[in-house]
Amino acid sequence: MESKNVSKKEYRKPSVVSIAGLDPSGCAGLLLDVRVIGSLGFHPCGVVSAITFQNTCKGYGYEKVSPETVEEQLKSILEDKLIAGVKIGLLNSTEVAEVIVELLEEYGMDKKVILWDPVYASTTNLKFQETAEFAEIAEIMSAIVSFLTPNAEEAELLSGVEVNDLKSAEKAAKKISQKLECAVVITGGKLRGIDVVYDGKAFAIQAEYSPVEIRGTGCVYSSALTCYLAKGESLEDAARHSRLYLLESVKRAKLTGKCLPCSEVAKL
């Protein structure tokens, strides 16, 4: 029988890339993202966009990673892996944001799922940029991002709308979506378990809510949403599945340090 030559490319397992800050406690950021991505069937890849100094009790500070270092990390992944989606987290400089946008466009990633989970401050009270720079980074990212997952506080900064209930969250989501030309999902404890999704029309997803502060919930949700979207699900289905994943993650949360419990990878 004649053997068939098959390219190695056909055997590549699809990857999802996380571009995020490194939290040495493992309770948020890149270390948590890659665990979620792996649990949902993709090969996880990671790019460090900032190095933070924090644990379950306190944030001590952070160090920016140079645009050149981010570029070299990301380029090495894009020229090798079969990328199904990209989840972007902490970006604390406009220069890094510009490098990421340019590279993703250069490698044709604008045709893939690209989600940005904007991070203004951590639950350990680390503030990563000033309000004006946060808005400037958002404008840069709008060139490549199709999905945005701010919490209520970040949605307020991006929209100028005070978010305190379902109606105001829908207004903020619509304003951000029109401004940045992407679908928006507003999440977070301030809405008490309600996710507000806007992709041209607004709808809400209600779920169980934990009044206890747990580290890493935003990272879990946004990473799961990236993966479900990369599997080809509609935004509505992906958002519902991500909320269920987050709920299971919260139920499995563990006290690994002296203070806040940490989200765990869900098993659905």
Listed residue (82, 107, 110) closest to 14, CA to CA: 82
Report the alpha-carbon distance of residue 92 to residue 57 in Å, rounded: 22
- Look at residue 3 and tell me whether its pLDDT is greater than 60: no
Please report the pLDDT score of residue 179 as a whole number.
96
Q: Over the stretch 158-179, which tens digit does the pLDDT of each residue have?
A: 999 999 998 999 999 999 999 9
Whether residue 7 lies inside any domain: the answer is no
Whether residue 4 lies inside any domain: the answer is no
Whether residue 1 lies inside any domain: the answer is no
Report the alpha-carbon distance of residue 101 to residue 143 in Å, rounded: 7
Whether residue 108 lies inside any domain: the answer is yes
Report the alpha-carbon distance of residue 53 to residue 23 in Å, rounded: 7
Q: Count CB atoms within 10 A of the CB of residue 11.
A: 8
Whether residue 260 lies inside any domain: the answer is no
Q: Over the stretch 59-93, which tens digit does the pLDDT of each residue have?
A: 999 999 999 999 999 999 999 999 999 999 999 89
Do 202 and 196 meet the contact criterion of CB atoms below 8 Å apart?
Answer: yes
- Report the CATH number at residue 112: 3.40.1190.20
Place of tokens 């068939």: 4
How many structural domains does the chain have? 1
Whether residue 6 lies inside any domain: the answer is no
Q: Domain range holding 242?
A: 13-251
Please compute the mean of the pLDDT values over residues 255-261 and round it to a whole number. Answer: 96
Please compute the mean of the pLDDT values over residues 197-206 and round it to a whole number. Answer: 89
Whether residue 258 lies inside any domain: the answer is no
Whether residue 268 lies inside any domain: the answer is no
